[in-house]
Amino acid sequence: MTSQRHTTQRPGSTVVRCRAVARRFGSVPALTRADLAVDEGEILALVGENGAGKSTLMRIIAGEIAADAGEVSVDTAVGLVRQQLSTVPGLTVIEQIALAAPAGGRVDWRRLRREVTELMDSTGLEVPLDTQADRLPVSLQQRVEILSVIHRGARCLLLDEPTTYLTPHEVDGLFEMIRGLTPTGVSAVFISHKLREVAAFCDRVSVLARGETVATFDEPPFDLAELGRAMTSKTAAVDPGRGRSHRGDRGRARGDHDGTRHNRMRLRAGSALAVAEGEIVGIAGVAGNGQDELVATLTGLRRHGAFAPVLLDGRDVTSLSPWRRRRKGVRLVPSNVKQAAVAAEATLADNLLTARVDPRYTRRGGWLERSEVDERTDDCLRDYGVVATGHDQLAGELSGGNLQKFVVARELAHDASVLIAHEPTRGVDFAAAAQIRRRLDRFAEGGGGVVLLTSDLDELLELSDRVHVLYNGDLSQSFPAEELSVGRLGELLGGIDRGATA
Ligand SMILES: Nc1ncnc2c1ncn2[C@@H]1O[C@H](COP(=O)(O)OP(=O)(O)OP(=O)(O)O)[C@@H](O)[C@H]1O
């Protein structure tokens, strides 16, 4: 497809320009012909399916990696907020920001603190400056990165999915702040899979598909359907099964196993949370209200008294290690897949192997059946449409969304009985998100139990049978999902009228 660009006269000079940029990683062509122009004072959205090359283009503009071909000119100070967090273990937030600050002699801590406090006031992005950054929930770590880049004096912000961990309120705050800066000539490139955010906040949209710029939309309002079509224009047909499933229909299908809902398999935290076979139990809550603690307690990573004991199949498994729980079928999609679910330097096949306990992988005598592992890995990649070269590719080389799909595939593969899914569609494009939702649904229909923690309220209501609200470390009673709406959930999330806590 030829690149389409409808130019209009815009004020402000162009501060970043890329023409016909190409870049390969080994045999993988990440970019084939990317064009991009960012003008002073504008917010440009960069959209595209998982693996389209968005992050690669940002890394080239930021000077982290070089292009193989094409022209790149950058006439301003750019600051990249990466998809993957770069929190340095052991440092406090203010130390982390000092580390990223422009070099030059000793740090004037007083001044730094004053500047960052002012920045927090003006952006509404609050963080505790004296807390160790790696102990903060990922949502706050993301805020630290954004503050750090702005504090460093970047005039063109390259924001690679900066809103994945932010609440809608924080997203509003972030854009209000950037809008406040644009009259002074600051510009931003904003990568997001949430087209609603793109439509609400951006001046222009550039679309990448399979490494090539296929369209640029210059005038809001943007036609989201047309945007979606441009994004998928170079890939196979979008899955026709996309769209909402209906809880009622699904419930009936599940009940039809044999007319009853089995309680054979249960995971239970205290008396509050119980997940039966065939059930998806949603946990709603603003990040930082105890989600990480709940997930850690359910999976055995840590024990938080408020949620223990944990029962599986009616037996107390509170003292079982995460590994032994895995052997009993408890699986996890963590909220930060890249850091917590894979070894980036290992191949996908090795990542499948180390995460699973499967007798099929060993011959008699304990020898590893390598070809079986490789085949299973390729099955996962194929089933979930993961863009990868094959089982031998290193996990760290996958794009963010493709890695997410791989981890969901791995965790849901055979022998899973309970899945703890924490933001399972984070960072994936809309077609892949719909596919992951269908897989969760199908897993439940097949008798699995799912604990779903997601900040996407539509997703929560679409998938869950019942919903608990987590607020300030307390789980509410559960509400049947069909009695809830996004508006009602919003009230519950804010702690208004939460119903009795269990
Ligand atoms: N360091 C690397 N080594 C090998 N392949 C890579 C590397 N970085 C990126 N790729 C590949 O380049 C392609 C583009 O990746 P990129 O991360 O730019 O996509 P993206 O559009 O940002 O995707 P997402 O929306 O999933 O974040 C992918 O196929 C990816 O696997």
Whole-angstrom Cα distance, residue 18 to residue 49? Answer: 20
Given CA atoms 463, 448, 396, 96 in this order, what sign does their dihedral have? positive
Task: Label residue 291 exposed, middle or buried (CB < 10 Å: 0-12, 13-18, 19+).
Answer: buried
Whole-angstrom Cα distance, residue 151 to residue 133? Answer: 17
Contact 96 CB / ligand 1 (< 6 Å):
no
Distances (CA, A) of 87 to 6, 44, 331, 469: 40, 27, 26, 29
Give 386-412 pLDDT, tens digit per residue. Answer: 999 999 999 999 998 999 999 999 999
Give 290-305 pLDDT, tens digit per residue. Answer: 888 889 988 988 877 7
Which residues, listed in sequence order, are joined to residue 312 by a DSSP beta bridge? 267, 315
Q: Residue type for 224, please?
A: L
Amino acid 362: pLDDT: 62
**Which DSSP symbol is given to 64?**
S
Range with the poorest average pLDDT among 5-9, 54-58, 363-367: 5-9
Whether a cis peptide bond, with omega within 30° of 0, leads into 221 is yes
Measured in Å, residue 455 CA sits from the centre of ligand 1 at: 25
Residues near 441 by Cβ (< 8 Å), separated by ≥ 6? 245, 250, 280, 463
Confidence of residue 496 (pLDDT cuts 50, 70, 90): low
Give 1-14 pLDDT, tens digit per residue. Answer: 333 333 333 457 99
Ligand 1 closest atom vs CA 59: 18
Measured in Å, residue 94 CA sits from the centre of ligand 1 at: 31
**Is the pLDDT score of 366 beyond 80?**
no
| Token pair recorded at residue 196 | 């609603």
Look up the pTM and report it. 0.78
Contact 402 CB / ligand 1 (< 6 Å):
yes
Residue nearest (by alpha carbon) to ligand 1 atom 13: 30
Ligand 1 closest atom vs CA 429: 25
The 10 Å CB-count burial string (b at 16+, else e) for 312-350 is beeeebeebeeeebbebbbbbbbbbbbeebbeeeebbbb
Measured in Å, residue 53 CA sits from the centre of ligand 1 at: 6
Of 69-78, 192-201, 266-275, which has the strongest mean pLDDT? 69-78
Q: What is the 3-state secondary structure (H, E, C) of 224-285?
A: HHHHHHHHCCCCCCCCCCCCCCCHHHHHHHHHCCCCCCCCCCCEEECCCEEECCCCEEEEEC
Which residues, listed in sequence order, are joined to residue 267 by a DSSP beta bridge? 275, 312
The 10 Å CB-count burial string (b at 16+, else e) for 249-286 is ebbeebeeeeeeeeeebbbbbbebbbbbbbbbbbbbbb
Contact 56 CB / ligand 1 (< 6 Å):
yes
Strand 474-480 relative to strand 187-191, pairing: unpaired
Strand 315-316 relative to strand 310-312, pairing: antiparallel
Give 422-473 pLDDT, tens digit per residue. Answer: 999 988 888 889 999 999 999 999 989 999 999 888 899 999 999 999 888 8
Amino acid 8: pLDDT: 38
């917010």: which residue's tokens?
43
Contact 211 CB / ligand 1 (< 6 Å):
no
Amino acid 135: pLDDT: 85
Amino acid 53: pLDDT: 96
Mean pLDDT confidence for 487-494: 78
Amino acid 279: pLDDT: 92
Confidence of residue 138 (pLDDT cuts 50, 70, 90): confident
Whole-angstrom Cα distance, residue 312 to residue 329? Answer: 10
Q: Name which of 406, 395, 349 is nearest 372 in CA terms.
A: 349
Measured in Å, residue 47 CA sits from the centre of ligand 1 at: 14
ipTM over 0.90: yes
CA atoms within 13 A on the CB side of 92: 8
Indicate the average pLDDT of the chain. Answer: 83
Q: Name which of 82, 37, 36, 27 is nearest 59 in CA terms.
A: 82
Mutate to test the pocket of ligand 1, among 65, 399, 405 (most ligand atoms within 8 A of CB): 399
Whole-angstrom Cα distance, residue 220 to residue 45? Answer: 12
Mean pLDDT confidence for 175-192: 88
Terminal-to-terminal C-alpha distance of the chain: 57
Mean pLDDT confidence for 25-39: 94
Amino acid 58: pLDDT: 97
Contact 464, 282 (CB under 8 A): yes
Between 278 and 265, the higher pLDDT residue: 278
Of 67-76, 220-229, 311-320, which has the strongest mean pLDDT? 67-76
Contact 30 CB / ligand 1 (< 6 Å):
yes
Contact 192 CB / ligand 1 (< 6 Å):
no
Residue nearest (by alpha carbon) to ligand 1 atom 3: 397
Mutate to test the pocket of ligand 1, among 25, 404, 435 (most ligand atoms within 8 A of CB): 25
Whole-angstrom Cα distance, residue 422 to residue 429? Answer: 17
Q: Name which of 190, 165, 195 is nearest 178 in CA terms.
A: 190
Contact 385 CB / ligand 1 (< 6 Å):
no
Ligand 1 closest atom vs CA 401: 26
Residue nearest (by alpha carbon) to ligand 1 atom 11: 30
Q: Name which of 67, 397, 64, 179 is nearest 190 in CA terms.
A: 179
Q: Which percentage of the chain shows pLDDT scores above 70?
A: 85
Q: Name which of 355, 308, 349 is nearest 331 in CA terms.
A: 355
Measured in Å, residue 394 CA sits from the centre of ligand 1 at: 12
Q: For the chain, give the longest Cα–Cα distance.
A: 73
Residues near 343 by Cβ (< 8 Å), separated by ≥ 6? 350, 351, 354, 395
**Is the pLDDT score of 167 beyond 80?**
no
Rg over CA atoms, the chain:
23
Helix axis angle for 109-123 and 168-181, nearest 10°, is 110
Contact 334 CB / ligand 1 (< 6 Å):
no
